Amino acid sequence: MSHLPIDHSDTPLRLFKSDILEFFTHISPVTVTIIWLPVAVYFFIQPISTAGKLEPFVLIGFGLGLFFWTLLEYTLHRFVFHYPARGPLQERIFFLFHGVHHAQPQCKTRLVMPPVVSVPLALIMYALLHLLLTFLLKAPQWIDPLTSGLLIGYLIYDLTHYATHHFPMRSRYARFLKRYHMQHHYKTPEQRFGVSSPLWDWVFGTMPPNQ
């Protein structure tokens, strides 16, 4: 990503000739919230409704989902979005996924994940949770709270990402995240992969020294 020229113009880069395809590359954080927040609430409430009370495993599973999201966020950003493309086709694919954001980091309509990407990813993750918890660990009751935590973690990530680019950050930690992410864009695009948290950069050595 470090080789991409940075464009600060107000006109979004066009990605497709088709107006329909182009339309689906633009998304508002409000839309993302409207889509995913009710789903996350549903998965949190479902096991409470079934049991008739708030069981401890619901809160534990929700917390684990939040935690697992931070690792998933780091993994996707580092190993998928910043995958070293080999050949023109891969370069095109990964530019569509993430390179366009590095080429035009202040484009307001390309700061959160479009549903055409997030929905398939969510379905894949849900299927994997079902496989792991239902068939391998025999603990299907954990699926819903873990899913809720993962979705809330994703929302926090997407909204934090938007905020680091376009909102004044008032708290000390929020200002740190904004500076941390801006340094990823303008100083070290192959480091600082955490957006909502720098935890896994520290664990895996992608946090620059003296950070």
- pLDDT at position 168 is 87
Contact 68, 142 (CB under 8 A): no
Percent of the chain with pLDDT over 90: 82
Residue 155 CB burial class (10 angstroms; 0-12, 13-18, ≥19): buried
Phi-psi region of 192 (alpha: psi -120 to 50; beta: other; left: phi over 0): left
In the predicted structure, residue 4 carries a pLDDT above the cut 80 = no
Q: What number of CA atoms fall less than 13 Å from residue 208's CA on the CB side? A: 12
Q: How large is the average pLDDT for residues 68-87?
A: 95
Q: Decide: helix, strand or coil at residue 1.
A: coil
* DSSP-derived secondary structure letter, 79: I
Q: How large is the average pLDDT for residues 13-19?
A: 92
Mean pLDDT over each residue of the chain, to the nearest integer: 92
pLDDT in tens, 124-174: 999 999 999 999 999 999 999 999 999 999 999 999 999 999 998 889 999
Q: Decide: helix, strand or coil at residue 152.
A: helix
- pLDDT at position 10 is 67
Domain locations along the chain? 28-204
54-61 own/partner pairs: CB under 8 Å, 24+ apart? 57/141, 57/142, 57/145, 58/144, 58/145, 59/145, 60/145, 61/142, 61/144, 61/145, 61/146, 61/148, 61/149
